[in-house]
A and B are shown apart, each in its own frame.
Chain A
Amino acid sequence: MKLEHIKFVEDYRTDILERLTADDFLPASNKNEMVQDAFQDRPTPWSRLKANRLALIGMGIVIFMILAAIFGPMMTPFSYAAQNLMEANQAPSSAHWFGTDTLGRDLFVRVLYGARISLAIGFVAALINLVIGVTYGGIAGFFGGAIDRIMMSIVDVLYGIPLLLYVILLMVVLGPGLTSIFIALGIAYWLTMARIVRSQIIKLKAEDYVIAAKAMGFSSVRILFKHILPNCVGPIVITMTLAIPEAIFTEAFLSFIGLGVNAPMASWGVLASEGIASMRSFPFQLAFPALAICITMLGFTFLGDGIRNALDPKEEGK
């Protein structure tokens, strides 16, 4: 190899140079396989979610709570209503993992039942929230113009009302009970969802692919269902996921002030309320339900945030 006249700008490994032969400088033969458009394996939202540790923790908590709520009570021998005054106010032990309350009921199983109620309330309220919010926001966003302005003005006014007072009022009128809670929560909290759905629809209406669909001649209805709504799923899921802890907490608060579900049915709020009375002497009776509320809320919040980050359009594509 005659390389003396080659001016290398930087040192190059002489062993590589020495191994080269004339054959190496023949035209490349197998290039065609490589000229194919390389397929970019871009991160999907699911993989982004998986990479987010907090979101995974949140998801774990949520799944755990759901499973505990469904299967937990079957695994303990105690029933949530069984009173045993002999064993009242017992500290946590191997027999009663969370101890007992003032009426001798096993706290562990009551917390598990509480999970059922609180989670159910959370999900159902979020669902009602979803239906009302999506319909309302969808109509406003899709039709635009005067309809949009009127509908959103109503939302703006309702936003000004402190919703907790509103819910309390409803509960007083409707009377205590699970159904009343569903109704009250559902009626009060759809505002955010409506706003989000409406603004998402407005944003999507201006997207090129929606305009392209219009240019192809599709009917408005088809555009709404095929192009707009599927792309609203992201913000809707996020809002729902974050609405659940809000519903759970509101219910806990209502139960705490006595407007929630009836005894002996115990949501976490009721347990917390009972626990407050004996906070000084038997703190565990408050600690466990309160902890359950906090952890569950955190779980949903982490998960919701994680979903929001995973679906962030800024990280998609480009």
Chain B
Amino acid sequence: MGDLLVNIKNLNITFKTFAGEISPVRDVSFQLQKGEILGIVGESGSGKSITASALMGLLPKGKTIITANTFEVMGENCLGDTEEQWKSIRGRKVAMIFQDPMTALNPILSIETQIREVLDLAKGKSSYEEVVALLRQVGIANPESRAKQYPHELSGGMRQRVIIAMALAGEADLLLADEPTTALDITTEAQILKLLQKLCKERHMGMIFISHNLRVVAQLCDRVMVMYSGKKVEAASVFTIFQNPQHPYTKALLASIPDGKGKGELVAIEGQPPDLNQLPTGCVFYPRCNTAMQVCANQEPPMIDVEVSTGNSQIRCWLPIKGGVL
């Protein structure tokens, strides 16, 4: 396995719905090294959450078709794994943090009970002291009494910390965080982000951080993959993405964020993401791209590696080839 925690090549996910088959994830490839934080950004409909769910085998089995040239999680080929096989990975090698801390915890079990469940599953035994130690690690004050409490007695931020503690209890090497701070206040969010940053560094864990909040992704991640309507449109180091973006969508997205921009600097992207039932031919971003060319309407662009001083960027775009033609 080496240091590659996740190795995905040409992932396609198709759902069988009442309206036919739709593919919310098409031809997506990415990798994650140990100790690295990869951010996946995109708006609703981009397919980022579905991709993360696929990495834990959480998509409904009967209705989902997953194909890929490579689909390795923690060094093992997981394509076509059964529920049983996924169970042996979940919680122990791969842990996931979801957006809503309120529904991820069982309201009728105490914090201690729930964390001990994970410990039992991972190590075969558990103790109150271990639980307290874990709670302390995630920065919960008075862990001795908190362990005995129930989820409704904790604030949103604290519940999220408990979930992180459960992720650590299994001693997972890979953490999937799907919008973990979206439901939290900005001050609580900062605390959770600092915690995640610290833990990843201390434990040399790999983390995939999914969010639509670009500021948070910029602060936390080493590399970023940008998804649009099920496709990977750009992937590069965090510096390239935010200081020197190459794909028109990334550029447009960054231009539409009001982080202190003055009036006139904020430019909206016209139109909306396409309906998965009515995907355009050619480039999926074509209808909204302001540098679109004729070829973009007819042909799906290839994935091209562009040289950038802050770190190369992979983009799915026809623009780099324009120079080769003219």
Question: Per the CB under 8 Å rule, do A and B touch in the complex?
Answer: yes
The stretch among B166-174, B203-211, B316-324 that forms the contact with chain A is B316-324
The reply to whether B324 and A9 form a contact with Cβ atoms under 8 Å apart is: no
Query: Which single member of A6, A41, A51 contacts B324 (CB below 8 Å)?
Result: A6
When A2-B324, A22-B326, A25-B322 are in contact, do A9 and B303 touch as well, CB less than 8 Å?
yes
Question: CA–CA, A6 to B306, complex, Å?
Answer: 8
Quick check: is B84 within 8 A (CB to CB) of the other chain?
no
Query: Which single member of A1, A5, A28 contacts B294 (CB below 8 Å)?
Result: A28
A/B interface sample: 9 pairs, CB < 8 A: A8-B303, A9-B304, A24-B295, A25-B325, A28-B293, A31-B292, A34-B271, A34-B280, A38-B271
Interface bits B247-291 vs A (CB < 8 Å: 1, else 0): 000000000000000000000001110110110100000111001
Which B residues lie at the A interface, using CB under 8 A?
A: 10, 18-19, 29, 270-272, 274-275, 277-278, 280, 286-288, 291-299, 302-306, 314, 318, 320-322, 324-326
What B residues does A30 contact at CB under 8 A?
Answer: 297
Across the A-B interface, the 10 shortest Cβ-Cβ residue pairs: A34-B287, A24-B295, A12-B302, A7-B305, A9-B303, A28-B292, A51-B18, A25-B322, A35-B271, A3-B324
The reply to whether A25 and B18 form a contact with Cβ atoms under 8 Å apart is: no
What B residues does A1 contact at CB under 8 A?
Answer: 324-325
Nearest residue in B to A11 (C-beta to C-beta)? Answer: B302
Question: CA–CA, A16 to B321, complex, Å?
Answer: 13
The reply to whether A26 and B293 form a contact with Cβ atoms under 8 Å apart is: yes
What B residues does A22 contact at CB under 8 A?
Answer: 325-326
Question: CA–CA, A40 to B272, complex, Å?
Answer: 11
In the complex, what's the smallest C-beta–C-beta distance from B231 to chain A, in angstroms?
Answer: 13
The reply to whether A27 and B293 form a contact with Cβ atoms under 8 Å apart is: yes
The reply to whether B294 and A24 form a contact with Cβ atoms under 8 Å apart is: yes
Question: CA–CA, A35 to B269, complex, Å?
Answer: 10
Quick check: is A23 within 8 A (CB to CB) of the other chain?
yes
The reply to whether B288 and A28 form a contact with Cβ atoms under 8 Å apart is: no
Question: CA–CA, A34 to B282, complex, Å?
Answer: 13
Question: Considering the complex, which residues of chain A in the window 33-53 have a beta carbon less than 8 Å from any beta carbon of chain B?
Answer: 34-38, 40-41, 43, 47-48, 51
Choose among B274, B288, B295, B304 the residue with the greatest number of A CB atoms under 10 Å from its CB. B295
Nearest residue in B to A28 (C-beta to C-beta)? Answer: B292
What A residues does B324 contact at CB under 8 A?
Answer: 1-3, 5-6
Nearest residue in A to B272 (C-beta to C-beta)? Answer: A37
In the complex, what's the smallest C-beta–C-beta distance from B152 to chain A, in angstroms?
Answer: 21
The reply to whether B305 and A35 form a contact with Cβ atoms under 8 Å apart is: no
In the complex, what's the smallest C-beta–C-beta distance from A41 to chain B, in angstroms?
Answer: 7
What B residues does A12 contact at CB under 8 A?
Answer: 302-303
Quick check: is A208 within 8 A (CB to CB) of the other chain?
no
The reply to whether B271 and A36 form a contact with Cβ atoms under 8 Å apart is: yes
In the complex, what's the smallest C-beta–C-beta distance from B17 to chain A, in angstroms?
Answer: 9
In the complex, what's the smallest C-beta–C-beta distance from A307 to chain B, in angstroms?
Answer: 16
What B residues does A37 contact at CB under 8 A?
Answer: 271-272
Quick check: is A20 within 8 A (CB to CB) of the other chain?
yes
Query: Which single member of B293, B305, B314, B320 contacts A24 (CB below 8 Å)?
Result: B293
Question: CA–CA, A7 to B302, complex, Å?
Answer: 10
Question: CA–CA, A23 to B325, complex, Å?
Answer: 10
What A residues does B18 contact at CB under 8 A?
Answer: 43, 47-48, 51
Query: Which single member of A28, A43, A48 contacts B296 (CB below 8 Å)?
Result: A28
In the complex, what's the smallest C-beta–C-beta distance from B294 to chain A, in angstroms?
Answer: 5
The reply to whether A26 and B294 form a contact with Cβ atoms under 8 Å apart is: yes
The reply to whether B325 and A20 form a contact with Cβ atoms under 8 Å apart is: yes
The reply to whether A23 and B271 form a contact with Cβ atoms under 8 Å apart is: no
Nearest residue in B to A26 (C-beta to C-beta)? Answer: B294
Question: CA–CA, A262 to B324, complex, Å?
Answer: 93
What A residues does B291 contact at CB under 8 A?
Answer: 27
The reply to whether B287 and A10 form a contact with Cβ atoms under 8 Å apart is: no
What A residues does B280 contact at CB under 8 A?
Answer: 34
The reply to whether B286 and A28 form a contact with Cβ atoms under 8 Å apart is: yes
* Supplied contacts A8-B302, A34-B286, 10 more A-B pairs, CB within 8 Å: A1-B324, A8-B303, A16-B299, A25-B318, A27-B292, A35-B270, A38-B271, A38-B275, A40-B275, A47-B18
The reply to whether B294 and A25 form a contact with Cβ atoms under 8 Å apart is: yes
Question: CA–CA, A30 to B10, complex, Å?
Answer: 31
In the complex, what's the smallest C-beta–C-beta distance from A68 to chain B, in angstroms?
Answer: 31
Quick check: is A281 within 8 A (CB to CB) of the other chain?
no
Quick check: is A93 within 8 A (CB to CB) of the other chain?
no
Question: CA–CA, A152 to B200, complex, Å?
Answer: 55
Question: CA–CA, A27 to B272, complex, Å?
Answer: 21
Quick check: is A29 within 8 A (CB to CB) of the other chain?
yes
What A residues does B299 contact at CB under 8 A?
Answer: 16
The reply to whether A29 and B294 form a contact with Cβ atoms under 8 Å apart is: yes
In the complex, what's the smallest C-beta–C-beta distance from B106 to chain A, in angstroms?
Answer: 22
Question: CA–CA, A5 to B292, complex, Å?
Answer: 22
The reply to whether B321 and A43 form a contact with Cβ atoms under 8 Å apart is: no
In the complex, what's the smallest C-beta–C-beta distance from B103 to chain A, in angstroms?
Answer: 14
Question: CA–CA, A10 to B305, complex, Å?
Answer: 10
Query: Which single member of A23, A28, A35, A38 contacts B297 (CB below 8 Å)?
Result: A28
In the complex, what's the smallest C-beta–C-beta distance from B323 to chain A, in angstroms?
Answer: 9
Question: CA–CA, A154 to B257, complex, Å?
Answer: 56
In the complex, what's the smallest C-beta–C-beta distance from B282 to chain A, in angstroms?
Answer: 10
Nearest residue in B to A33 (C-beta to C-beta)? Answer: B287
Question: CA–CA, A20 to B297, complex, Å?
Answer: 13
Query: Which single member of B277, B298, B306, B321 contacts A41 (CB below 8 Å)?
Result: B277
The reply to whether B272 and A38 form a contact with Cβ atoms under 8 Å apart is: yes
Query: Which single member of A10, A23, A24, A25 contacts B303 (CB below 8 Å)?
Result: A10
